[in-house]
């Protein structure tokens, strides 16, 4: 699988994140996987989850 370089990836924050809030995660499409990273430390790296794994994570985190 060809993973795009970080400079080519469009990272986005949740619409639930406030403009000035510091505790945000960002997600991106990584050619069939979902990238997840800390918006405060983007250079620290990211997780690459399968779409199913990302859906499972969201289901687990929902109240």
Taking only the tens place, the pLDDT of each residue in 25-60 is: 899 999 999 999 998 898 999 999 999 999 999 999
CA atoms within 13 A on the CB side of 34: 15
pLDDT range class, residue 23, cuts 50, 70, 90 = confident
pLDDT of residue 20: 65
What are the boundaries of each domain within the chain? 25-63
Provide the 8-state DSSP code for 8.
Answer: G
Distance (Å, whole) CA 12 – CA 28: 6
């Amino acid at each position: 699988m060809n993973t795009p370089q970080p400079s080519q990836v469009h990272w986005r924050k949740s619409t639930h994140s406030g403009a000035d809030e510091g505790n945000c995660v960002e997600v991106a499409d990584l050619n069939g996987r979902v990238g997840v990273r800390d918006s405060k430390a983007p250079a620290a790296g990211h997780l690459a989850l399968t779409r199913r794994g990302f859906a499972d994570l969201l289901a687990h985190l929902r109240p």
